[in-house]
A = this chain, B = another copy of it.
Amino acid sequence: MLDAAVAVFSQRGYHAASMDDIAERAGISKPMVYAYLGAKEDVFLACVQREATRLMEGIAGVIDPARRPHDQLCAGLRAYLTCVGEHRDGWSVLYRQARVQEPFAGELAEIRGRMIEAVTALLGGVLNAEGPEVPAAEVSAMAHALVGAGESLADWLVDHPDESPEATAARLMNFIWMGAANLLRGHTWRPASQPSP
């Protein structure tokens, strides 16, 4: 029944979706939907919670604290994009609808906060594994940039059904990681080396 609801919310949007649509898609009567899940807002909240839990558990499932922070970060990113790619309707409900709608937006912001915390910890582990300690502000800024890039790319992935999640994860690793790898070697971008006409 939740699968049917997620599909309907994803395709029609929260406001346009009706309990009739959900009942029809689930192949049950409307009173049954009310009986099991409650009103539309309750159904939507149940969808948000199911999809958010699936995403968080999908990531947590591949994070092995015994591995190097770098490997944990890569595995987490790949799991994140794979989960989004396999449940595009779920992403649409979370990111395109719940995130832009109170009272669901607060729940999403909290999940995002937890992701940033986890990424900050892993990134700190990666960056501090070699050489002098990277300032906490630098790590925190990078973690925010990485999470923002990941979300935006996940949203892009949803609109590109032919693209594999693995390829998208590799794109982000290329784009971000090769940059961080350079930083670790002390190579930084310098505005002065880019002459302006």
Whether B156 and A172, one on each chain, are in contact in the complex, defined by CB atoms closer than 8 angstroms, is: no
User: How many angstroms between the C-alpha atoms of A141 and B130 in the bound complex?
Assistant: 30
Judged by a CB distance under 8 angstroms, whether A173 is at the interface is yes
Whether A153 and B144, one on each chain, are in contact in the complex, defined by CB atoms closer than 8 angstroms, is: yes
* A interface size (C-beta, 8 A): 53
Shortest C-beta distance, A192 to chain B (Å), equals 11
Contact with A137, one of B99, B150, B163, B177 (Cβ below 8 angstroms)? B163
> What's the number of copies of this chain in the assembled complex?
2
Whether B171 and A175, one on each chain, are in contact in the complex, defined by CB atoms closer than 8 angstroms, is: no
Judged by a CB distance under 8 angstroms, whether A53 is at the interface is no
Whether A178 and B175, one on each chain, are in contact in the complex, defined by CB atoms closer than 8 angstroms, is: no
User: How many angstroms between the C-alpha atoms of A175 and B71 in the bound complex?
Assistant: 19
- Mask for A88-132, Cβ within 8 A of B = 1, else 0? 000000000001111001000000000000000000000000000
Judged by a CB distance under 8 angstroms, whether A29 is at the interface is no
Contacts of A15 in B (CB 8 A): 102
Whether B179 and A176, one on each chain, are in contact in the complex, defined by CB atoms closer than 8 angstroms, is: yes
Q: Which of the segments A1-9, A17-25, A40-48, A182-190 contacts the partner chain?
A: A182-190
For window 145-197 of chain A, which residues contact chain B by CB distance below 8 Å?
145-153, 155-156, 160, 163, 168, 170-183, 187-189, 191, 194, 196-197
Whether B141 and A153, one on each chain, are in contact in the complex, defined by CB atoms closer than 8 angstroms, is: yes
Judged by a CB distance under 8 angstroms, whether A74 is at the interface is yes
Whether A196 and B152, one on each chain, are in contact in the complex, defined by CB atoms closer than 8 angstroms, is: no
Contacts of A99 in B (CB 8 A): 100
List the B residue with the shortest CB-CB distance to A155.
B144
Whether A176 and B176, one on each chain, are in contact in the complex, defined by CB atoms closer than 8 angstroms, is: yes
Contacts of A49 in B (CB 8 A): none
